[in-house]
Structure 1
Amino acid sequence: MLAEARRSGCPTRSDLLSPRPVTSSFPAAWLKADPRALAFLPDRFRHRSARAEAVAQAATRTISPALLEVLRARNAHLAPSSARERNLELLARPGTVAVVTGQQMGLFLGPLFTLYKAAAAIVTARALQEETGRPCVPVFWLQTEDHDLPEVDHCFVANATGTPCRVALDHADAATSRVPIAHRQLGQGVLAALGTLRGEVGKEPQAEEHLSLLERAYRPEATLAQAFTEVLAAVFAEEGLVFLDPRDERLAPLAAPVHRLALRDAATLSSALARHVDALTQAGFSEQVHIRPGSPLCFYSPDGVDGARYRLDPAGPDTWSLVGHPRGATVTTRELMEWLEREPLRFTTSALLRPLLQDTWLPTAAYIGGPGEVSYFAQLAPLYAHAGLPMPLVIPRARFRVIDDRARRLLHKLGLTPDEAGMEREALLTRLATRDESHTYESAGALEARLFGPFAAVLDTLGESMSRLDPMLLDALKRTRGTVRAAVSRLAARYGRALALRDQVTTERVDRLRAMLVPEGAPQERVHGMAYYACRFGTRAFTRQVLEACVPFSGDLQDLTP
């Protein structure tokens, strides 16, 4: 879903229309209860009365018998789970509500935050049930409609050295594929990926248990979605997590009314959403998903249900162009409506339409989302209002930083806290190099400013007098400024490197620690997959620790110390 925003490659309305610079991260501002953010997405999840209201409202809706039948049939093929069977029975009862989360089908479960999302949905469902007395069931929405294969065909595995190792499938057409993930088989490349994974973590104490689970699910003939679901269902069998795949052909007729709304009211909806985005950017936030003027919020697959999918753009009266189609194909509204009646599985949702489909099908009380999804919901109020459907509670997913024994030893040796380890690398090395010395060295940037700043100030004062004396002197002044600036920058860079490299052992320890906690400068949970931690501590033991550490209705980062 995040990929859909990036794929457009177009300037956003905030680039073109907002006179105010976009300066703030919406999810960060929302978590801090910034009034600007709360105007677009209230933080109802923080308030018990609002949570109770959302649950009561969701409890007035029921799941259709057709959807229940598909859910029972699909979940029956997963790892045996009496808890899942009980949850499916509960969903059939009036008054039961759902706590939903979802994710793309990352290889070997993708980044750690997939596990954290599912755990947060389970813990949140328990908390809401305890608060309200109404049955709450955790549901995982499998985002099988997405087609961005390069986002899901790999994972990163932490190894004994702490360096993330990329493990990937080998699909030659990955960059150009437009086929929904639901229809992509793993292929023979998955055997090589499993071999690489075993080579990286196969010697860990609990490796055989976890690797055997992956090897049973990730077979060449299986799809990415099938393997992903099989593993995640086994991981959360005791909790009874229920799985919903929107690409099931039996569900396509149930999705048709949502796609019909998106096609019929495309112009009205895009205008309303664009106005909402304008207000969002005026408040200082960027849009997460670009609104294409007049375009419906769905994709269409002209060559069949397992064929490439394309966005639709207006191309004339009742005519649509297929964005990115190699032959520049078009389709009429009449043809689209006929196919929607005849073969509705040809239609798939965009990032903005998916929540509406989800909440049309399910009695959703709450959605557990990451930063990107929080930003989606900040744009969605006009769509829900147009459909006459209340928005669910939006609750930030659990956030964790795993600090294992290796990381703890390095933190102790370096005398750092986990937060300090996330500092910018050069600044951290400089601090470590100078903190125990009588003489404190300034940073390379400070030295450069101290050397060049006074010189530049003098040149600025000379400029006017030089131009009166001889205008040609201004060119000489500019050249001198550039020459001196370059020389000072080179000196400062050498000075900075000397500071950073004075203690090679410290440098190596810092790099190993950062690879464990902030790989490539990113949050650990967005890079590392589950495999290393499951192989080291045990699949169930690690999952249980995540579940026990989840704090419902909180987006705070927490440390796990297995």
Structure 2
Amino acid sequence: MNIEQQPLPSSQPLAEAMIHHYSKVGYFYEYDLTRREEWVRRIDWLKQSDGRRLDRIKLTQVLKDFNREHNPHEAVMASIDLLEQEGTAVIVGGQQSGLLTGPLFVIYKALSIIKAAKEAQEKLSHPVVPVFWIAGEDHDWDEVDHTYLLSADQQIKRIRIAKRSEQRTPVSQVKVMQEDWGQIADELDNLLQNTEFKSGLLDAYRTLASQSGTLTECFAKLIGTLFGRFGLIVMDSADPHLRKLEVPVFERMIKQNDELEQAYLSAGKELAAGGFSLQADVHEGGANLFYVHEGERKLLFKQKGVFTDRKGTCSFSADELLAELHAHPERFSNNVLTRPLMQDSVLPVLGTVLGAGEIAYWALTGKAFQAFGIQMPVLVPRESFTMIDGAVQRNMEKYGLEWNDVNNKDSLSDKREAWLKEQDHLHLEERFAEIKSSFEAMYNPLIEQLGTVQAGLIKLGGANRDKIIEQIEYLRNKSMDALAKSNDSGVRHFERIEQSVIPMGRLQERTYNAFYYLNRYGWSWIDELAGIPYDVTGTHRILYL
């Protein structure tokens, strides 16, 4: 495998600045990830603040129970035992529980967590374990119910799992029927090309799915199968046993809700003043907490001292909400702004692995961390890759294409058109253009002269001219189609490059699912990715397989 660094233009200038120009935006954050002394400072703060977080013994018992069921690797149990010891820190990152693990970047995030934990432990000579936080409390089913694969005939195909209720229920509580898991297995079987790894991959999926009642459970088992041997602990934010432990944290969030709201609003104003767009919604009166009412997850707001949802279907005074919390903690969850506070109140977080968009919206939480009496952890960008297999690489070389030629749909389309033009040895485009121009140059003066004979002939002549030009254009288009068909092999090569590298005009890691690559390269593909040298800045890299 050859590896080539290819930084991508960032769509998140705030994240770009935090990684490469920390001094310009450091007042939104807490630690500069590129300086070792900042990591040491974070370790020191974790030692001093250990009593502010959940009891380690109780927390690790919850983690043991969850991982014994879904991720029972001995390396994972060793990580949990280490976490139980005072002083052990974690590198954590999270994601929604997508179908078949979701897009490739979820795989890269898990690997980044593992690598960052290993790197920190070695360089700081301090115990650090990796943790994957599944956002099972999220209710956006449409975001997680599908994934994309490149089929055996090189077509982009979507696989989607059904939801049998329209309620906005947390994903961890949505039941998936065995017949639905079976339908996914059948689609995989039909779409994936036949390889030496296919049978074992499908058998592994069927076994894990048959033991899963929800998307979150299947996701946890798949992540465990792929990364358990690296000691990656998996936890579900919607785990009811974890929720009971979190009651004191939610209680503080309710009691300090006005203070937290002002912190988010103030940070939002500072970001806007600095020319940065807000990457998360910040509302006046926003409680930044969710409550599950009659099976539906509802975002809470404050109106005249009452906590209620937008439609007013449920409402509580602060005291009533606290009573409800103690009676039914499983009904409460965080939004994107309070989740970072919960994460740091639950775990001894040395660093949290984030995508660029997440780094940008975490800037909104800095003042809230201060108001809550804790510190934002080190923010660690996840690693980013594009994989180019041998056939695609050969096609790129054949047509003289570099990464910058294929990294977006428009540039690749321009290169394809330029190549097709080079195949036009008759210079059809130029000749048809010349014919149109010459025809109009001769015909237009004639039309004007005909107007001296009879005024109506000008309109008739114009219509006649347009029909002739239309026919010339028709023949031009047919000729160009014929040219393309005569070079069909090359056109298909360009299509394969596009579908492999920038499917649907997006980065490969944001579209395709890991099962395509597991089917092609086997389980050892994960080991190859794990063996790639760690890059703390998350610079995009091209992997030539």
**Letter of the 1:529 counterpart:** N
Q: Is residue 214 from structure 1 mapped to residue 205 from structure 2 by the alignment?
A: yes
Displacement, 1:302?
2.6
Runs of 4+ in 1 over 6 A off after TM superposition: 435-443
Q: Is residue 558 from structure 1 mapped to residue 526 from structure 2 by the alignment?
A: no
Contact 1:426 1:500 in 2 (8 A): no
**Letter of the 1:223 counterpart:** T
Structure 2 partner of 1:178: 168
Q: Is residue 54 from structure 1 mapped to residue 37 from structure 2 by the alignment?
A: no
Equivalent in 335, 338, 343 of residue 320 of structure 2:
335
Cα distance change of structure 1 residues 207 and 91 upon mapping to structure 2, 3 Å threshold: same
Contact 1:129 1:136 in 2 (8 A): yes
Structure 2 partner of 1:426: 413
**Letter of the 1:171 counterpart:** K
Structure 1 partner of 2:387: 402
Equivalences for residues 316-395 of structure 1 within 5 A: 316=304, 318-324=305-311, 328-395=313-380
Cα distance change of structure 1 residues 95 and 500 upon mapping to structure 2, 3 Å threshold: farther
Q: Is residue 277 from structure 1 mapped to residue 268 from structure 2 by the alignment?
A: yes
Q: Is residue 295 from structure 1 mapped to residue 291 from structure 2 by the alignment?
A: no
Displacement, 1:537?
0.5
Q: TM-score, normalised by structure 2?
A: 0.83
The alignment covers a number of residue pairs equal to 489
**Letter of the 1:206 counterpart:** F
Contact 1:155 1:167 in 2 (8 A): yes
Q: Is residue 528 from structure 1 mapped to residue 515 from structure 2 by the alignment?
A: no
**Equivalent residue of 1:218, what SS?**
helix
Q: Percent identity?
A: 25
Q: Is residue 26 from structure 1 mapped to residue 17 from structure 2 by the alignment?
A: no
Structure 1: 5+ residue stretches without partners: 1-22, 452-483
Structure 2: 5+ residue stretches without partners: 1-10, 438-465
Contact 2:382 2:538 in 1 (8 A): yes
Q: Is residue 73 from structure 1 mapped to residue 65 from structure 2 by the alignment?
A: yes
Contact 2:151 2:192 in 1 (8 A): yes
**Equivalent residue of 1:244, what SS?**
strand
Displacement, 1:123?
0.7
Larger deviation, residues 363-372 vs 217-226: 217-226
Contact 2:500 2:508 in 1 (8 A): yes
Contact 1:429 1:500 in 2 (8 A): no
CA distance in 2, matches of 1:92, 1:138: 13
Q: Alpha-carbon deviations, 1:365-416, whole Å to 9, x = none?
A: 0000112211221111011001111111001001011111232232223221
Larger deviation, residues 37-46 vs 101-110: 37-46
CA distance in 2, matches of 1:387, 1:526: 34
Displacement, 1:44?
1.1
CA distance in 2, matches of 1:49, 1:348: 35
**Letter of the 2:396 counterpart:** L
Contact 2:12 2:356 in 1 (8 A): no
**Letter of the 1:386 counterpart:** A
**Letter of the 1:105 counterpart:** S
Displacement, 1:430?
3.2
Displacement, 1:217?
1.5
Contact 1:25 1:286 in 2 (8 A): no
Contact 1:433 1:499 in 2 (8 A): no
**Letter of the 1:53 counterpart:** R
Structure 2 partner of 1:44: 32
Displacement, 1:323?
2.4
**Equivalent residue of 1:160, what SS?**
coil
CA distance in 1, matches of 2:245, 2:259: 23
**Equivalent residue of 2:44, what SS?**
helix
Q: Alpha-carbon deviations, 1:135-181, whole Å to 9, x = none?
A: 110001111110100001111112234332100112254xx431111
Contact 2:388 2:542 in 1 (8 A): yes
**Equivalent residue of 1:134, what SS?**
coil
Equivalent in 520, 525, 531 of residue 548 of structure 1:
531
**Equivalent residue of 1:301, what SS?**
strand
Q: Alpha-carbon deviations, 1:414-462, whole Å to 9, x = none?
A: 221233212414322234345799999999xxx9xxx9xxxxxxxxxxx
**Letter of the 2:339 counterpart:** R
Displacement, 1:238?
1.6
Displacement, 1:263?
2.2
**Equivalent residue of 2:333, what SS?**
strand
**Equivalent residue of 2:229, what SS?**
coil
Cα distance change of structure 1 residues 422 and 93 upon mapping to structure 2, 3 Å threshold: same
Q: TM-score, normalised by structure 1?
A: 0.80
Cα distance change of structure 1 residues 146 and 441 upon mapping to structure 2, 3 Å threshold: farther
Equivalences for residues 375-524 of structure 1 within 5 A: 375-423=360-408, 424=410, 425-433=412-420, 502=484, 503-524=487-508
CA distance in 1, matches of 2:160, 2:25: 38
Larger radius of gyration: 2
Displacement, 1:197?
0.9
CA distance in 2, matches of 1:142, 1:334: 30
Contact 1:88 1:242 in 2 (8 A): yes
**Equivalent residue of 1:145, what SS?**
coil
Contact 2:212 2:218 in 1 (8 A): no
CA distance in 2, matches of 1:179, 1:68: 27
CA distance in 2, matches of 1:546, 1:24: 26
**Equivalent residue of 2:342, what SS?**
helix
Cα distance change of structure 1 residues 312 and 435 upon mapping to structure 2, 3 Å threshold: same
Displacement, 1:66?
1.1
Contact 1:185 1:220 in 2 (8 A): no
CA distance in 1, matches of 2:427, 2:175: 59
Contact 1:24 1:284 in 2 (8 A): no
**Equivalent residue of 1:44, what SS?**
coil
**Letter of the 1:272 counterpart:** A
Contact 1:142 1:244 in 2 (8 A): yes
CA distance in 2, matches of 1:81, 1:196: 29
